[in-house]
A and B are shown apart, each in its own frame.
Chain A
Amino acid sequence: MSARKGPSRREFLKTSAGLVIGFAVVPKTRLLALQQPGAARPLPPPNAFLRIGEDDTVTVLLAHSEMGQGIWTTLPMMIAEELECDWSKIRVETAPAAPVYAHTEFGMQMTGGSTSTSSELDRYRQVGAMAREMLIAAAAAEWKVEPAACRAESGFIVAGKRRASYGSLAKAAAAEKPPSSVKLKDRKDWRILGKPTKRLDSPQKVTGKAEFGIDVRAPGMKVALIERSPVFGGKVKSFRAEKAKAVAGVRAVVAVPSGVAVVADHFWAAKLGRAALEVEWDLGPGADVDTTKMAEEYRAMSAADGLKAAAAGDVGPALASAGTRVDADYAFPFLSHASMEPLNCSVVLGPDSAEIWTGTQFQTGDQAAAAKIAGVKPEQVRLHTTFLGGGFGRRANPVSDFVAEAVHVAKASGMPVKVIWTREDDLHGGYYRPMFAHRVSVGLGADGAPIAWKQSIVGQSIMEGTPFAMMIKEGVDETSVEGVANSPYILATPNHWVGLQSPKSPVPVLWWRSVGHTHTAFVMETMVDALATAAGRDPLEYRRRLLKAAPRHLGVLELAAAKAGWGLPLPAGRFRGLAVHASFGSYVAEVAEVSVEKGAIRVHRVVCAIDCGICVNPAGVTAQMESGIVYGLSAALYGEVTLKAGRVQQSNFDDYLLLRLDAMPKVEVHIVESGEKAGGAGEPGTPPIAPAVANAVFAGTGQRIRRLPLRLA
């Protein structure tokens, strides 16, 4: 609720006293699409990850967005581990948008792929170590002792009886030359990393003080709502603004590329004004979209092989020769991210500047998009990342839809504006998890193990038509086949074929928490369960045999099964199902206990085991598993966006249902400490839950449900 007065963070960086650690990395860039071919990569400008104040505070700047996943805590843990500072003196801020904050792997400033903690493990520890060495150098110079005689200890540099706080040394340390290399602590010496640590953002989030994008206010700022096309891709033919303008508080009605914006003194006036607006649309082909028909088309298409995503041996003859064969068709709907904070973006344009406040996962793209529309250079766009009221992928948009649109409104109206999406706007706004169909045929050998596995996948590409399209290899968008093309079950099958077809539609699609794994894990894990049944084996025992060459899968599978009491008797009417799946560098197994009462599926208990390699904050990983499970359960039990005549048929939480407290199962999380390379936590908990529940439903009812959301026959 702070009233904004323009310059803040960058100005502060320039003028604040104390130690500012500039730190540059050359990214191992995988994604070069946004850069001009052949252009030399600009050297990162000096910038800061860390500020030590003369009051002893240690301010950590986050290169990533806090959207619930807990990096407000994990990145400071990395710095504190090496800096040896007083944890109570840590302050946290989100970094501005600037090249120096580019993702260490992706080369752009963004939050996604469950990488924010794992990708920063080196960089943030190095920053902490550099600061420590500079503080030591300053103290050694002042005391005229060797740096080796000094040590860092809970916010002080100590040498013999001498002792100086970091704050008192900050100014002198800032003048020290940053070390060219630092030695990081051995993992066995960690005191903070790997220890369960409570969140640092709780105090402001339980008092209402945490500022989300929707809370941003600036002098004279108006609120705008946009009337968008009722179908995807429609264009405004004409509009009449008189009635809208007659609503008290409405200040302007302006056309923007996505529709017509009503700009008002506050949300309520904008909403009433928008309701009074009269718009005639040129709907275009978007009016023909019908998801029932699309599902039928996808199913028909899945009879064809498609483009090769993975292949070995000769799958056709092997299938024909198999004694036992299991065939299955799968169908998945569009899904909305439905973050609790609806999309929004605030924009103040100046003669040669744009200032933006929003909860975004993609600063680099948003900055570039805003610059283009505002007619300024990207570095003239000051992008402030607020807390995100959930992201789940929706706020990392390759075309920066919600940011670009807000800049258009500010430009067209000439006013500082905050564009707010209503819940209905947010749910109707597209960028859904794509619809998918899978057709799977598996032949079993005499020992019950698969000898042939053929899988045809049909669904829209997320990458196609975006700046990330160069990640599509030979027509195959990896995000459509991840979890199948690299499945340990398929790789262990001597004859296999995984094919992909990527039809287009007017409906925009996007990554949705765990991306392709949202459907591929469901197919693989319910399919393997069906194969176990066909082979006459217990689902756990059958997986053990197939996963012999996949030790980390096995590790979590065994742990989850043991903790869940797999094979032990259950109360009457309860049934278990399990699933194991690897995604985003982590391995997760889940065992679900369900009952089916009066045709309704109820999940009572979920036992989860995760191997995420080096675990930075076990408390955070546990929370992310609980979170991923709930997110996946909402999709498994209810999630479905449908379109008829191009119109999205759901509009709010009364018809797009999410799991509520009274349906929350008991969730138990166990962490396997493998010590392997750090993996992700934000997404990997989601993929296994739907198949675990579906497998439990089979155990209880004999029904193999192969479409989501789960509906009993």
Chain B
Amino acid sequence: MKLKINGTVRNVDAPDDMPLLWVLRDLLGLTGTKYGCGVAQCGACTVHVDGDAVRSCSMSVSEVKGRSVTTIEGLGTAGLHPVQRAWIEADVVQCGYCQPGQIMAAAALLRVKPKPSDSDIDDALSGNLCRCGTYQRIREAVHRAAAIAAPGGKS
């Protein structure tokens, strides 16, 4: 089947019920999207489908036919995305495994709420687990990313 991934049409030979996560990782070699739980509990596999954050471990590949999928590899179209820049500036990462999912969730939030409150951030990102406990910096970095992306911001 044909899939639109990061702006490019890719042909994959996958059964309809194969989760998008494993199509991305094992068939397309896009390993930036992570496996953490397989049951939409941890958010490590978060990607965008038509701009919305989804858990790719629990979405079958047939559901994204004809839709536009963005992974961490395709997030920054011209250099780093404001969320990625903010993540570096706030020194967020530790082991880093959950961070692609966190960043994708944050980027999706900012698309609909360019200036999110703490509770908006809690609502949007509480589905993303971080075992290293970088949550405080994630909150800070989302605000920072909002400032970077704002008109007249630091971009």
Contacts and interface: CB of A to CB of B under 8 A. Distances in A.
Interface of A: 1, 3, 66-70, 198-199, 201-203, 205-212, 214-215, 217, 223, 248, 265-268, 338-342, 387-392, 420, 422-423, 619, 623, 626-631, 652-654, 658-662, 664, 666-667
A340 B130 contact: yes
A389 B96 contact: yes
B122 A659 contact: no
Q: Which of B44, B95, B99, B134 lies at the interface centre, i.e. has the most chain A CB atoms within 10 A of its CB?
A: B95
Contact of A664 (B25, B99, B123, B135): B135
A629 B133 contact: yes
Given A339-B131, A626-B134, A664-B136, A205 B26 contact: no
Contacts of A198: 88, 91
30 contacts: A198-B88, A202-B88, A203-B88, A205-B96, A206-B80, A207-B32, A208-B30, A265-B26, A267-B25, A268-B26, A338-B131, A340-B42, A340-B97, A340-B131, A342-B36, A389-B97, A391-B95, A423-B36, A423-B37, A423-B38, A423-B39, A423-B42, A623-B91, A631-B131, A653-B39, A653-B129, A654-B41, A658-B129, A660-B126, A661-B126
Contacts of A627: 94, 132-134
B28 to A, nearest CB: 9
A70 B94 CA distance: 7
Interface in B109-129: 121-123, 125-129
Contacts, number: 184
Contacts of A69: 94
Interface of B: 15, 18-19, 22, 25-27, 29-39, 41-42, 44, 71-73, 75-76, 80, 84, 87-88, 91-100, 103, 121-123, 125-139
- Majority-rule SS of B interface residues: loop
A248 B128 CA distance: 32
Contact of A199 (B26, B31, B34, B91): B91
A392 B39 CA distance: 23
Q: Which of A70, A208, A623, A628 lies at the interface centre, i.e. has the most chain B CB atoms within 10 A of its CB?
A: A208
Given A626-B133, A652-B41, A661-B122, A67 B91 contact: no
A268 B133 contact: no
Nearest to A654: B41
Nearest to B39: A652
Contacts of B31: 1, 208, 211, 214-215, 217
Contact of B93 (A3, A206, A628): A206
B149 to A, nearest CB: 15
Contacts of B125: 661
Contact of A661 (B34, B132, B138): B138
A67 B95 contact: yes
A666 to B, nearest CB: 7
Contacts of B103: 206
Nearest to A630: B133
B129 A205 contact: no
A552 B35 CA distance: 43
B41 A217 contact: no
Given A69-B94, A387-B97, 10 more contacts: A3-B29, A68-B94, A207-B80, A208-B73, A212-B97, A268-B22, A652-B39, A653-B37, A660-B129, A661-B135
Contact of A209 (B26, B32, B98, B139): B32
A199 B93 contact: yes
A206 B26 contact: no
Given A205-B93, A390-B97, A214 B34 contact: yes
A422 B132 CA distance: 20
Contacts of A423: 36-39, 42
A201 B87 CA distance: 12
Given A68-B94, A653-B42, A390 B26 contact: no
Q: Which of A67, A248, A619, A662 lies at the interface centre, i.e. has the most chain B CB atoms within 10 A of its CB?
A: A662
Given A198-B91, A266-B26, A652-B39, A661 B133 contact: no
A391 B91 CA distance: 20
B29 A217 contact: yes
Nearest to B121: A661
Contacts of B19: 268
A659 B133 contact: yes
Contacts of B130: 340, 630, 661
B34 A341 contact: yes
A205 B127 CA distance: 20
Contacts of A420: 35
Nearest to B135: A664
Nearest to A660: B126
Contacts of B71: 208
Nearest to A339: B131
Which 9 pairs between the two chains have the least Cβ-Cβ distance?
A: A208-B32, A630-B133, A389-B97, A205-B96, A68-B95, A68-B94, A208-B72, A266-B26, A215-B31
Given A70-B94, A208-B72, A626 B136 contact: yes
A423 B57 CA distance: 12
A69 B96 CA distance: 11
Contacts of B88: 198, 202-203, 206
B35 A342 contact: yes
B136 A422 contact: no
Contacts of B121: 661
A389 B91 contact: no
Given A652-B39, A653-B42, A667-B136, A389 B32 contact: no
B133 A207 contact: no
B32 A630 contact: no
Q: Which of A68, A69, A626 lies at the interface centre, i.e. has the most chain B CB atoms within 10 A of its CB?
A: A68
A183 B52 CA distance: 57
Nearest to B130: A340
A265 B13 CA distance: 12
Contacts of B98: 340, 389
Contacts of A387: 95-97
Contacts of B25: 215, 267
A341 B97 contact: yes
Contact of B26 (A267, A389, A391, A659): A267
Contact of B34 (A3, A340, A391, A619): A340
A266 B133 contact: no
A257 B139 CA distance: 46
Contact of B37 (A205, A265, A652, A664): A652
A69 B131 CA distance: 12
A630 B135 contact: yes
B37 A1 contact: no
A119 B79 CA distance: 38
Contact of A619 (B80, B91, B99): B91
Contacts of B92: 202, 206
Contact of B41 (A68, A207, A653): A653
A207 B72 CA distance: 6
Contacts of B33: 208
A217 B73 CA distance: 17
Contacts of A666: 136
A68 B35 CA distance: 18
A154 to B, nearest CB: 23
Nearest to A667: B136
Contacts of B39: 423, 652-654
A2 to B, nearest CB: 9
Contacts of B131: 338-340, 390, 392, 631, 658
Nearest to A205: B96
Contacts of A207: 32, 72-73, 75-76, 80, 84
B93 A340 contact: no
